[in-house]
Structure 1
Amino acid sequence: MGARKSILAGKSKFDIGINFIQKLCNSHVPSPLRIPSISPFSLPSGSLCLKHPDLFLNSDMFDISWHKGLYDSNLLIGYRYPKPLCLGQHSLTIQHSISPEVRIHGIPMNNFSQSASQGLRLSKLSIGLDFNEPSTSNWINSTGVYFKRIHFIHDSGRSISRDLDGFPVTCSGDSYDNMIVINQKTRFEDVNDHNFTHFTLQMEHGTPLQPNLLTFNQFKFFASKGVKLGPAVFSSSLSGGSIVGSIAPHQAFAIGGPNSVRGYGEGAVGSGQSCLVSKTELAIPLNNKLTSVFFLDCGSDLRSSHRVPGNPGQRQGKPGSGYGIGFGIRFKTKLAQIKVDYAINAFQQRSVYFGINNLVV
């Protein structure tokens, strides 16, 4: 978030923000899949957030947040109602988002450093209840029950059931998939002055309450460890997962991008039934505001792309595995943290990622 303004009205809090995010590449994309050349500050997006405590009951919380970018939007409504500490926390969430679908169906360009859209947009609707169990020591357990609807539309707004190659984009064969999902998550966190440890294990089960609902089992994990070496911090993380059942292409694991393997476009490394991604970083502070970072990212679809219906990864020529190496800087200001990463992928293609993130105070 590049800038934010908070307004207090009684117990309510209203936030207005402007965000900037951009990826730069030193190559050009050939027509007809040309991506417009734009400046680092030409992708602003807005956000609104309303927080209102004690709306119906003492200590309850009602949240509404809305984000609108140039190509995506996200609306989130949440209500958390109070329970005794021994019973944990219960909440209701409703979320709807629309975004370009490039992770699975995007076409890799410029030696896989970019992913060009085929004109598909992904609309997601999720309505669910979350039950957070009382935390014990460093462990937190939660269970959620959700109804999810995944809908594909064209940039023009019409519904789509098949991609440009004629393959179905959903499991049902229609323009949408419905599912009822039971989600169980376990999280462990231990942080002190010398090191930190994070671990998350998540399992999702698609329940076949009706014949037209997706039935699947998905397993995902994330583990990270950081150690302080004098003023520097060395950290390493490993994440991955697998899914079995009546899966759809949009459920595949996409590898590549600034939050996965840097140096590649979103999903440009591969899209498979399983995946494994490792990230290693060495952060060296230069002063109180500036930090340099050296990183190595690796990812693989574990040769599982052919198990995704329609095999979009192989059809788009994705390698299935890759690595990115590079360095970056982190600059802290009073309002935000500026991030710049320079990455080189396995095909010697260079990419620069630029971002401005809100500082959590």
Structure 2
Amino acid sequence: MGAQKSIHAGKAKIDVNVDFTHKLCASLMLLPHSRNTGSLLSLVIGSLCIKHPNLFGGSEKLDVSWNKGLCDSNFLIAFRRPRPEWLSQQCFLIHHSVSPEIGVHGIPIDNFSRSGSGGVNLSRLSVGLDLNEPASSPWSSTTTIKFEHARLLSDDGRSITRDVEGFPVTCSGSPHDCMVVLKQESQYTKANDHSFSRFGIEIEQGIPVLSKWLVFNRFKFIGTKGVKLGPAFFLASLTGGSIVGDMAPYQAFAVGGIGSVRGYGEGAVGSGRSCLVANSELTFPLNKMLEGVIFLDYGTDMGSGRLVPGNPALRQGKPGSGVGLGYGFRFKCPLGHLHADYAINSFQQKTLYFGISNIAT
């Protein structure tokens, strides 16, 4: 549910879009014997998006977006300059977000199928520059340099240095961490009528500008392969990562959840310095509008949960590895694409996920 309005300012056209149900429709998780309407309301989010395609008359683009929910918020300003021939596209970014730290500090409940609040929230402010290299082959790359300020908050908005059990939540020991990060992202994509392949790699390096600023190297990769098998389609992906050097708990890799291992709550499998997640999914048509799917997910923190400062994974009893399997349906209708997944985890806990994407306006 939303509204869109175009405003003419001189020769430019400004697009304004307001959406009140984006996150609610994107993902609902329904649990057996659950009547927790508060968890559903926490998914409701209001969105405001403003776009100006020609800010100073030289094809400069300005994008402003703001998403506000009951428990989180996200604000982004992006200014893009036209790309000179053979040079990188430049994009100046200011980004501020506030969100609960469920993946690391959340408390697993209902046999690890959900994660409750651990009373820790992350406020992150970053200012930086993106340089997008022109794609002249299947490879594309982006280089980012940014300053980042991370502050930890309690549920009532107060700055904190320790969690409810007295363990540090920052690396510096103060209420905030600062860092200058150089980030390199590269992606390879190849596709034809019968299959596609995608491989992405992301490397972040913390630069030692001041003595208390974080110095680290964070590496992450994702490989995806899709193959058409007659009328069916098989999709497999492998995701992994690791971090060395200075580290705060909120930088840990969280394993578990809808985009990771289905059947578990967010971060309920583990949270460590390293991770490895494998997903496989077979989709097959049932009729013109309905598809069936069976899936198998596996994730592990590779025994690195104990290496995270404060060891939140061990204190919360996370298993460190887990398997989720199940089946689901995909339904295409005029409203949008509806999907439902029924998953079971290693503890025999069953979870139903329901969502809507590509919503018609």
TM-score by length of structure 1 reads: 0.93
Residue number in structure 2 paired with 1:61: 61
Residue 5 of structure 2 aligns with which residue?
7
Q: How far apart are the structure 2 equivalents of 1:151 and 1:170? A: 8
Aligned residues: 353
- Residues 234-249 of structure 1 mapped to structure 2, 5 A cutoff: 234-249=234-249
Paired AA for residue 124 in structure 1: R
Identity of aligned residues (%): 52
Match of 2:84 in 1: 84
* Structure 1 letter corresponding to 2:30: L
Q: TM-score with structure 2 length normalisation?
A: 0.93
Q: State how far apart, in whole Å, the 2-side matches of 1:138 and 1:104 are.
A: 35
Aligned residue number for residue 153 of structure 1: 153
Q: 1:44 Cα shift?
A: 2.5
Stretch deviating more after TM superposition (69-78 or 314-323) = 69-78
Aligned mate of 2:32, from 26, 32, 37: 26
The alignment status of 1:110 with 2:110, answered yes or no, reads yes
- 1:70 is displaced (CA, Å) by 2.1
In 1, the alpha carbon distance for the partners of 2:336 and 2:94 equals 28
Contact 1:22 1:41 in 2 (8 A): no
Aligned runs of 1:218-233 on 2, under 5 Å? 218-233=218-233
Q: Which amino acid aligns with 1:26?
A: P
Show the 5 A alignment for 1:281-296. Answer: 281-296=281-296
Paired residue secondary structure (1:250): helix
Q: How far apart, in 2, do the equivalents of 1:146 and 1:289 lie?
A: 45
Deviates more, 1:52-61 or 1:260-269: 52-61
Give the corresponding residue for 1:250.
250
CA distance in 2, matches of 1:59, 1:333: 37
Where does residue 314 of structure 1 map in the other structure?
A: 314
Q: Distance in 2 between matches of 1:66 and 1:14?
A: 12
In structure 1, stretches of 5+ residues that fail to align are 29-34
Provide the C-alpha distance between the structure 2 equivalents of 1:160 and 1:59, rounded to a whole number of angstroms.
Answer: 44
Query: 2:108, 2:316 within 8 Å by CA — same for their partners in 1?
Result: yes
The 2-side partners of 1:86 and 1:355 are apart by 42
Q: CA deviation at 1:360?
A: 9.8
Whether contact under 8 Å (1:201, 1:220) holds in the other structure is yes
Q: CA deviation at 1:59?
A: 2.3
Distance 2:126 2:357 in 1: 26
Contact 1:216–1:245 (CA under 8 A) maintained in structure 2:
yes
Looking at structure 2, the residues matched to 4 and 60 of structure 1 have their Cα atoms a distance apart, in angstroms, of 27
Distance 1:328 1:218, change over 3 A: same
1:183 and 2:183 aligned: yes
Q: Contact 1:5/1:15 (CA < 8 Å) preserved in 2?
A: yes
1:159-206 Cα offsets, whole Å, 9 max, x none, are 111011111001011121111100001101112221111110010000
Please give the alpha-carbon distance, in whole angstroms, between the structure 2 residues aligned to 1:360 and 1:150.
37
Matched to 2:322, the amino acid is: G
The AA in structure 1 aligned to 2:75 is L
Partners in 2 of 1:164 and 1:41 — Cα distance? 25
CA distance in 2, matches of 1:355, 1:342: 12
Shift of 1:155: 1.3
1:38 Cα shift?
A: 5.2
Paired AA for residue 135 in structure 2: S
Shift of 1:156: 1.0
**Equivalent-residue separation in structure 2 for 1:305 and 1:247 (angstroms):** 13
Residue identity in the other structure for 1:140: S
- Unaligned stretches of 5+ in structure 2? none
CA distance in 2, matches of 1:340, 1:70: 25
Amino acid at match of 1:102: I
For residues 333 and 66 of structure 1, the distance between their equivalents in structure 2, rounded to whole angstroms, comes to 29
- After superposition, the C-alpha distances for 1:273-328 in whole angstroms (9 at most, x for unaligned) are 10000000011122333222111110000011111111111111000000100112
> How far is the alpha carbon of 1:58 from its aligned partner?
2.4
Shift of 1:72: 1.1
